Amino acid sequence: MKLSGKIAILTGASSGIGLELLKLLLAAGVNVVAASRSMEQSGFDHRLLLKKNCDISSSDSIDELFAFTLQKLGTPDLFIANAGFAYFEKLGDPDWEHINKIFATNVFSLCYCAQKMKSINNKDPFNFVCTASGMSFISMPGYALYSSTKAAIRGFADAYRFELKKGQYFQVVFPVATRTSFFQVAGEETPVPWPVQSAEEVAESIIRGIESNRYEIYPSRLFRAMLVLNRFIPVIAPIYTRNENRKFQLWLKNSSTQAEKDQLFSPNKTA
């Protein structure tokens, strides 16, 4: 996709990967509707930028976002579903609302937005890009719910591509741990999965992937190499997961009080 002059919707645009993507899209000459829960209060402005507050877990809010874009700019050529959040936690008692909240934001909204793009564009070309995670392939201790939402995204994309027309692309991004506010808010003792990338590196990789219409975008070459190698030496992923589990168990041991655990288990939006 040639980006200059295109119309794009970007969710989760106020921080982290989303903010870095926003900067790159605007620099490339893209007309952007940037959305987040508090986007209209952000101090970031640009002549090609329109800001819209949006609760991505609400279908009504998503409908308003598309209607706003159609009214102000026209039919979107590009949708980047970047909004979402993670829980780092040990799952406790059964909690339907807790499970539903992360799936509504990370999975249900994404599927709905993809169908909206298809409905609005009909047979015309468009690119739909979504931020998944390396955990789509390797589930991590402490991220049972988060890993499952990212695996669901990957499964939906693999199947939904068969329903798209020529020139319509469903692109999935598989970043590794990214230096955003999540780990800062979660606490200094929260283990950070290896390897780690910056939000700028991930955003630059996504832009290159959009321009080349790649179905799968891997910002970390190291992680991509690990996946390929694991096909031939299938002990690599289990060894990696066991190592991360040791970090998780140590974190549980050090989080001695329930108050500390409640603070660290709280949801933190990721970009």
Contacts of 51 (CB under 8 A, 6+ apart): 33, 34, 35, 39, 40, 42
How far is the C-alpha of 119 from the C-alpha of 68, rounded, in Å? Answer: 16
Mapping DSSP to helix (H, G, I), strand (E, B) and coil, where does residue 206 land?
helix
146 is catalytic: yes
How far is the C-alpha of 269 from the C-alpha of 271, rounded, in Å? Answer: 7
Cβ–Cβ under 8 Å, residues 131 and 171: no
List the catalytic residue out of 143, 146, 169, 218.
146
> Which residue in this structure is represented by tokens 């406790």?
92
pTM: 0.90
Domains of the chain: 7-270 (3.40.50.720)
How far is the C-alpha of 202 from the C-alpha of 197, rounded, in Å? Answer: 7
- Can you give the pLDDT of all 271 residues of the chain as single tens digits? 999 999 999 999 988 999 999 999 999 999 999 999 888 888 788 999 999 999 999 999 999 999 999 999 999 999 999 998 888 888 889 999 999 999 999 999 999 999 999 999 999 999 999 999 999 999 999 999 999 999 999 999 999 999 999 999 999 999 998 887 655 544 456 778 888 999 999 999 999 999 999 999 999 999 999 999 999 999 999 999 999 999 899 888 887 544 444 444 434 344 3
